[in-house]
Structure 1
Amino acid sequence: MAESVAIVPGLSNLNLNIAFENDMQLIADSVEGLNKRLTEEHIIVHNVLENMIAILKNKSSRGKIESREYLENILRRDPRNLNALADIEKLSRTLHRTTEADEYKSRLENILQGQTANDLRTKSICLMEQGYAILNEESANIEHISKNRLSESYRMLLSEHKKGTGRRKDYLQRCVYHNKQALSNLQLAIECKRQSELLTRRITALEKFEQAKGLFDVTIENIIWTFYIGVALNRKYDSIKDLSNEDGRDRFQEKKDVTLKATEIFWKISTNKGTTNQNFIIYQARSYALIGHILIRRKNFFLTSDKNYTFTSDQLFQLFMNNPISAFERAQVMNRSDTFILNRYGRALWNLSEQHRASKDKKDFLHRAQRLLSSSINQSSLNWFGYSTRMSVRKDLGHAYFGYNKSKARTFFELAVNDGYQCFISKGTPRSICQLVEICQFLAKFPDIREYGFKYVKEHQKRYLLNALDYLNFGLQQGGPTNYFLAYHMGTVLYDLDEIKSAVDWMKRAVSLSNTKSNIALKLACRYMIRRYMNEVDEQPNVVYLLKEFVFTMMKGKEKYEKIKDVYTFIFKHEREAFMRVIADIFKIPHILDGPRVKLITECVQTCTLLLTNDIENSDIFLEYIRAVPDLKLMDDIEPQLQEMSLSNSVPVGPVNKHSSEGFVYDFFVSHSHKDADWVLSRLVADLESAFTEDDVVLRGCIADRDFEPGKIIFENIENSLRKSSKIILVITNNFVNSYWCQFETNQALLESMESRKDCIIPLYLEACDIPDKLRHITYADFTNDDDYIFEIMKLKRALLPE
């Protein structure tokens, strides 16, 4: 067993957030927090805590001396500590102290190669310490940190390349090319990470603990390690739950198994009578608190009997089952000042408040939770968990008082924002940022907190929305643009700021990132599109593309969500007059519809007609639309070749791009069938010509309906556009394969590739179809699975960057 465990000593290899933090204030706060933990935690974790401080101190040149002192202090107490030996060896080499580094390496290798009981115990403790470090400092999102830095380097190199001359320009050209390749490969790594199975996404604390026990079971000699294994199992439940929310799979048995295992560990610790040591009693109290917390949130897992877990039939455990708060009360009797217990007790009361509808009971729980959390924060100001939970509590208190005491409600919302800001500057997770943003929106529109849109924003409170935008941009920079909740809230904030086009783009992105259970993003995306259409239809003569975009988005929503009629009802309820105008205009230009789209619009009209019971006039108009359907001249009925040759539907003006490759007007040309135009214009071109994050770039595309020169022969337009475009995207579908003009554009693109530009063609497969022989040898972009759309568009964008 010992030989099968690969041990890589040192905390510097664990990809912890602390190893990549550059903000000196956050580093100082983290050091202060770790020092406080040294006064609270058992002595067996003091070495790893000091090692974590050493990693933080190592971030600055001057701090390397202090870092070395911390590591030397660990080795004075424990000369065989593998993590400290590995990190001090690495640090010594960076300080050019080679002889000392070699000595540390020799000591390290002797222990790693040893097989005595003491050697196995030392290696086991090394893994336990690494597990503790991961458990208490989550792994950094290294790929996104690296992507941000590479993107910044790319922009700087591209700028310098445009200013360069001669050999310097040539060398910079190579730098730009290889930087771009690094970005593309990194995007592939991010996608692989996302597609990995649960808990293989990163090295987990639980895996480290299990490896340690396989070598030498140190939990026998010190039960404190067992406590941290229980905490890791409890954390695993959260990972399983997050994955279930992401992919929609239930995973009930997995969640039940880890819950029972974790609870059994806490039960054994809490009921252990073998010691009266005060340090151990702290962990007994914490175990009671965790049992209470688990029972409040996951009581259903204990309702069915499981013969493997006999503790569930114990009389005291049954008492906790009936009244989980009694477990916290017992924990508090044992230790009243522990922030760990205070935080979980406060969060438990907040959880219980959500289960009570009676206003008085709900407020009582929330006020008690606020007092406990405030006491915890007073114990330690660097208390992210306390601030985060108290923000939620105060937000709910604001709602609880809103109905009859708006002044008090506003005060609680303001206090919640203050707590949220403390979370933001200390550990701004996407979840806490989104909650902070939501409260900022309440205050910006107060007292119209449940309304949508700029007209409800109070001018003197608009600053809350601008702050919310800053918080979201930070969250996107840290976590990447593929978080549904960040995309959703970015859309709602931009809508409240009257940035409707950007709001539409972000909410459409949220639709792509959402699971099939919630259609709120689709409801808001459609509502925003209707508002945009109403804003522009009377000012700009050619906005047919907005109607096409609306119908297309509704079609994609119908494919994804079961309750599509909820969407019709929502839009009609909130945008009745505007929605009726949009429906009327769609029926005026039926050539934007095909068979499936007509079915969708008919279903929509029928649903809305039922809501017009007291409006006979408009009900009759809707019924007339339905009767007119059989006579509509649809897209399917229009001669394809004629449609391919005409410049029919208006499209938005393309962006002016400063980053295009030298010698080209466009970054890409899109060849597609007119029957796939909705997807190309509404999604592909719209996303490629927009920047969603700070490290994103705006590309400029060439599409026939917008960029072909009127009056020129279509053959000449195609040839000119291909020459002016750096890359050529072929949107491959069955429609494309059967289109004369698409085949002509493909042949011209292949000719262009052979004559002057290697690798300029990018086939994009939108659906499963027969691949043309002439394209089989070219690496393609796979857009056949709509769930992967966001990741594929990011990958495609990297491929289109100037070289």
Structure 2
Amino acid sequence: MAAGGLLSPVPTPGFFHLDLFIKDTKDVSQRYDELKARLNLEKGPMESAITNLLSVSAFYKLGGQTDALDFLEDLTKKDENNLDAIANKQFIYGQLMRARDEMVCKDRLQELLSDESDAATARNARCFAEQGYALAFVRDDSKDTVSKIRQAISLFRTAQSLVSNVGIDVVSEEERLVWKHHLGRAYWRLDDLRVHAENKATLSHMNGDRKEGLLEAQQLFIEVSKMDRSWKHSRFYIARAWGMLGTLEHKCREKCEHYQSPDYLVRQIPQTEGPGLEWGCYKKALEINPADYEVYRRFGQSYSRERLYENARQMLDTSIDIMPEKTSNWFAYYSRSRLNLFQYDMLMRRWRRVGSPPPDKQLLQRAKQDAIASCDGVTTHFNTFLLGKPEHDGVLRLRENTEAAESYKRAVESDERTYYSNFNGVLRSLMVLHGSEDHHRVHYIAELAFWINEGYKKYEDIRRPIRYCVYKFGSQMIQVCRHLIDDGNFQLARIFLRCFKQEDDIESYTAAALLISEIPEDDEHEASGAVSRSSTGQPEQEVSSKPAPVRVENSRCSDEFHYDFFVLHSSKDDGWVDYVLVPALEVDWGFKGCVADRDFEPGKSVFDNIIYSIENSYKTLLILTPNFVTSEWCKYETEQVLMESLKSKSGRVIPIMLHECDVPASVTHLDASRDAIGCYDWLKLKEALEKSPPTEADQEKQIVGSLRDMTLK
């Protein structure tokens, strides 16, 4: 296929699977639901692109191969020559070992790709447009996401170039404009990703490349807004185009130097109140399609920026009423959460200034509920980064500090190396909890030390958030430093204590100076982090010098077992186990745990201790990390616990994904991506520990289901 004088690559069989393989299978259901919603909403030329992507998501759902084929069979009935559908069918037939069907698809592809007619050119162009749509939809968080969006832009451009000399009887003007609509959205998404990637300090004015991309998107949407309204699908695209033009007006006016609104907008939009032409664009969009939830959401965000909170609430409520599905409309929930926080803060300032009635805490409760809803709908770390703050702020203002701490911990996992706000939130929440009247607050010092150590390994300069904590919580920070020194973490303790030199608190400064004097001078080379163990991964019989949590006397789940849980983990992860996991389970909830360094019987071999602990524990927690899967000790422990679990048919293994890793072969029967509990999902973990083991009948059903899945594959 020629495009602009260059030989373009032909679509390869299984394109979507080769280039858009869904690695994070726990998000497949969310993506599947979002695509189903899109297919119901967006009719016209891109239905085939959505259906192809829907087949991919269906394929990776449990037992979804049949659904995937059904989608593709329906598509090829409507368009028997759809290249991507044929390629995807070939891929699925290959996975199902249906060699004859696979070969039929392969031969058909070769036949279609050898055609050089105008119809073939149009077919190839549609294939590129579908692939551009797929790349722009991609929901991974890899570092090459920006390059994928750039590739999507290139594919849409290639599709346009291919049909430039083909008549509208082969590719209609409406179809070409739909491609331009999605090309404009790709430019918009590229700008969002680049804003996230760049240093915020440099964003007072956008660079020329960014400005050029936004102005290109603006021109594309202007063309789409002129679409013939007699076309049956035009209302959706014209309204969306006007909504995007309103949003682009805002961004260009805020960020582009010497920006002037296009003459076309000035002529089409009458002068109205509000910020420039932005509101006029939204109103025009809603006149064309009063049921467009995205336009209501954009209008609500604009009202919120102008502090017209009731108008904003009305728009956001309408958006969510039209599209309550969280994955498709998570940003409306996020925006309404922020709106409630803004309004609460405004009323608080007014109350303090003039003595008006204090604001209703229901605003904070609604903010929290919407933040949780947006978290349920989000599928990427990039979006999690955007929506984290309202959930944290809501629970903090409600004084739900435990919930706030867990929320911040989740967000820290998504942070970049230069973004400290969520890490500050973790430290601040734990400080408040330590200073509370709660009777089991002592372990928070150990947990603070653990998180500071994690932050030291993650962030470029840990001193910035530490200085804030020293300023706000000086006496508590001295206790954390004492813990670091007692734990042998001298390098981090020294960095920490030097931050006290900049404070005016004489008492804290004196205490810091005394602690620095306790650090051995010959330990400058000491690495930060938990005390390391054998690099070979072999088990060691030495007892850790770390202070273990105080043990619980009696188990609470079952009289038949001495312990409620036994922890299988790498010694390199014992900081999290000792100072986060075990205190949460034992101190906060009263479970009785078995921890190797604390509870193994002296004089008994390590392996005998492991077997005894497994047999006498109600549940076994598998802490999955890269350290775990490379440790020979952990591999041995895993084999033992799985053998015991299978022997007793009790289903007593609970995997906890502390850090992403390849699941060991010995636990592949556990779908870790689906069954593993997140390392901060404390309530889910509590429920799993308390849950009664499945009966033999349940086990038989599970085995039959597994065999059925294996047969389908």
Could you tell me the TM-score, scaled by structure 1's length?
0.54
The answer to whether the aligner puts 1:5 opposite 2:4 as a matched pair is: no
Amino acid at match of 1:636: E
Please tell me whether Structure 1 or Structure 2 has the larger radius of gyration of its CA atoms. 1
Amino acid at match of 1:510: V
The answer to whether the aligner puts 1:15 opposite 2:16 as a matched pair is: no
Distance in 1 between residues matched to 2:440 and 2:367, nearest whole Å: 42
1:370 matched residue in structure 2 = 313
Residue identity (%): 15
- Conserved? CA contact 1:11–1:52, under 8 Å: no
Distance in 2 between residues matched to 1:383 and 1:539, nearest whole Å: 37
Amino acid at match of 1:123: N
Distance in 2 between residues matched to 1:512 and 1:418, nearest whole Å: 21
Give per-residue Cα distances to partners, 1:35-73, cap 9 Å, x unaligned.
5225xx3x2223334445556676789987776665455
User: Structure 1's 649 and 545: CA in aligned 2 closer, same or farther, altered over 3 A?
Assistant: farther
User: Structure 1's 109 and 572: CA in aligned 2 closer, same or farther, altered over 3 A?
Assistant: same
From 168, 174, 182, the equivalent of 1:228 is 182
- Conserved? CA contact 1:517–1:561, under 8 Å: no
Displacement after TM superposition at 1:231 (Å): 0.9
- Conserved? CA contact 2:22–2:28, under 8 Å: no
Give per-residue Cα distances to partners, 1:414-433, cap 9 Å, x unaligned.
44555556556655555777
Distance in 2 between residues matched to 1:682 and 1:424, nearest whole Å: 28
Distance in 2 between residues matched to 1:130 and 1:558, nearest whole Å: 37
The Cα RMSD (Å) is 6.3
From 293, 298, 318, the equivalent of 2:247 is 293
From 28, 34, 37, the equivalent of 1:33 is 37
User: Structure 1's 312 and 236: CA in aligned 2 closer, same or farther, altered over 3 A?
Assistant: farther
Give per-residue Cα distances to partners, 1:617-666, cap 9 Å, x unaligned.
xx4x4575588799x4540168999xx9x999654479999687xxxxx9
1:515 matched residue in structure 2 = 417
1:164 matched residue in structure 2 = none
Distance in 2 between residues matched to 1:394 and 1:543, nearest whole Å: 30
1:81 matched residue in structure 2 = 82
1:172 matched residue in structure 2 = none
Displacement after TM superposition at 1:331 (Å): 2.4
2:289 matched residue in structure 1 = 335
User: Structure 1's 490 and 215: CA in aligned 2 closer, same or farther, altered over 3 A?
Assistant: farther
Distance in 2 between residues matched to 1:552 and 1:61, nearest whole Å: 39
- Conserved? CA contact 1:205–1:232, under 8 Å: yes
Distance in 2 between residues matched to 1:391 and 1:19, nearest whole Å: 23
1:753 matched residue in structure 2 = none
Distance in 2 between residues matched to 1:536 and 1:388, nearest whole Å: 36
Write out aligned runs for 1:120-139 (5 A): 120-135=121-136, 138-139=137-138
2:222 matched residue in structure 1 = 267
Distance in 1 between residues matched to 2:20 and 2:315, nearest whole Å: 34
Amino acid at match of 1:516: T
Secondary structure, counterpart of 2:300 in structure 1: helix
Secondary structure, counterpart of 2:184 in structure 1: helix
1:154 matched residue in structure 2 = none
Displacement after TM superposition at 1:119 (Å): 1.9
1:636 matched residue in structure 2 = 521
- Conserved? CA contact 1:288–1:330, under 8 Å: yes
2:108 matched residue in structure 1 = 107
Distance in 1 between residues matched to 2:313 and 2:200, nearest whole Å: 31
User: Structure 1's 234 and 127: CA in aligned 2 closer, same or farther, altered over 3 A?
Assistant: same
Distance in 1 between residues matched to 2:119 and 2:229, nearest whole Å: 25
User: Structure 1's 327 and 562: CA in aligned 2 closer, same or farther, altered over 3 A?
Assistant: farther
Amino acid at match of 1:601: L
1:560 matched residue in structure 2 = 461
User: Structure 1's 519 and 317: CA in aligned 2 closer, same or farther, altered over 3 A?
Assistant: same
Distance in 2 between residues matched to 1:518 and 1:76, nearest whole Å: 53
Displacement after TM superposition at 1:235 (Å): 1.2
Amino acid at match of 2:497: I
User: Structure 1's 525 and 591: CA in aligned 2 closer, same or farther, altered over 3 A?
Assistant: closer
Structure (1 or 2) with the greater helix fraction: 1
- Conserved? CA contact 2:334–2:390, under 8 Å: no
Amino acid at match of 2:191: Y
User: Structure 1's 522 and 101: CA in aligned 2 closer, same or farther, altered over 3 A?
Assistant: closer
Give per-residue Cα distances to partners, 1:188-239, cap 9 Å, x unaligned.
xxxxx84x44534689533432443454447884222111111111111122
Distance in 1 between residues matched to 2:407 and 2:262, nearest whole Å: 48
Secondary structure, counterpart of 1:7 in structure 2: coil
Secondary structure, counterpart of 1:560 in structure 2: coil
From 142, 145, 155, the equivalent of 1:208 is 155
1:44 matched residue in structure 2 = 45
- Conserved? CA contact 2:83–2:127, under 8 Å: yes
Write out aligned runs for 1:442-521 (5 A): 448-449=397-398, 451=399, 453=401, 465=403, 491=406, 506=409, 510=412, 513-518=415-420, 521=423
Distance in 1 between residues matched to 2:594 and 2:483, nearest whole Å: 30
Amino acid at match of 1:293: T
Amino acid at match of 1:205: A
User: Structure 1's 684 and 228: CA in aligned 2 closer, same or farther, altered over 3 A?
Assistant: same
From 296, 299, 311, the equivalent of 1:345 is 299
Distance in 2 between residues matched to 1:552 and 1:241, nearest whole Å: 30
Give per-residue Cα distances to partners, 1:567-589, cap 9 Å, x unaligned.
4454443x355446667x699x8
Secondary structure, counterpart of 2:214 in structure 1: helix
- Conserved? CA contact 1:526–1:553, under 8 Å: no
User: Structure 1's 132 and 651: CA in aligned 2 closer, same or farther, altered over 3 A?
Assistant: same
* Number of residues of Structure 1 aligned to a counterpart in Structure 2: 573
Secondary structure, counterpart of 2:335 in structure 1: helix
Give per-residue Cα distances to partners, 1:713-754, cap 9 Å, x unaligned.
xxxxxxx999x99xxxxxxxxxxxxxxxxxxxxxxxxxxxxx
From 322, 332, 343, the equivalent of 1:400 is 343
Amino acid at match of 1:264: Q
Amino acid at match of 1:15: L
Displacement after TM superposition at 1:7 (Å): 0.9
Displacement after TM superposition at 1:268 (Å): 3.3
- Conserved? CA contact 1:420–1:436, under 8 Å: yes
Segment drifting more, 16-25 vs 382-391: 16-25
Displacement after TM superposition at 1:266 (Å): 1.6
Distance in 2 between residues matched to 1:76 and 1:139, nearest whole Å: 26
Distance in 2 between residues matched to 1:682 and 1:659, nearest whole Å: 13
Distance in 2 between residues matched to 1:639 and 1:437, nearest whole Å: 37
Distance in 2 between residues matched to 1:93 and 1:510, nearest whole Å: 41
Secondary structure, counterpart of 2:45 in structure 1: helix
- Conserved? CA contact 1:293–1:344, under 8 Å: yes
2:673 matched residue in structure 1 = none
Distance in 1 between residues matched to 2:94 and 2:492, nearest whole Å: 67
- Conserved? CA contact 2:89–2:102, under 8 Å: yes
User: Structure 1's 344 and 122: CA in aligned 2 closer, same or farther, altered over 3 A?
Assistant: same
2:650 matched residue in structure 1 = none
Distance in 2 between residues matched to 1:511 and 1:69, nearest whole Å: 38
Distance in 2 between residues matched to 1:627 and 1:57, nearest whole Å: 62
The answer to whether the aligner puts 1:389 opposite 2:332 as a matched pair is: yes
2:212 matched residue in structure 1 = 257
Secondary structure, counterpart of 1:44 in structure 2: coil
User: Structure 1's 691 and 199: CA in aligned 2 closer, same or farther, altered over 3 A?
Assistant: farther
Distance in 1 between residues matched to 2:320 and 2:219, nearest whole Å: 30
**Structure 1 unaligned spans of 5+:** 142-192, 354-361, 455-464, 466-488, 494-505, 613-618, 661-665, 671-679, 693-697, 713-719, 726-757, 762-790
Could you tell me the TM-score, scaled by structure 2's length?
0.59
User: Structure 1's 291 and 121: CA in aligned 2 closer, same or farther, altered over 3 A?
Assistant: same
Displacement after TM superposition at 1:269 (Å): 3.1
Distance in 2 between residues matched to 1:230 and 1:531, nearest whole Å: 48
- Conserved? CA contact 1:19–1:56, under 8 Å: no
User: Structure 1's 427 and 22: CA in aligned 2 closer, same or farther, altered over 3 A?
Assistant: closer
**Structure 2 unaligned spans of 5+:** 527-531, 533-541, 552-562, 586-592, 611-629, 634-656, 669-713
- Conserved? CA contact 2:433–2:441, under 8 Å: no
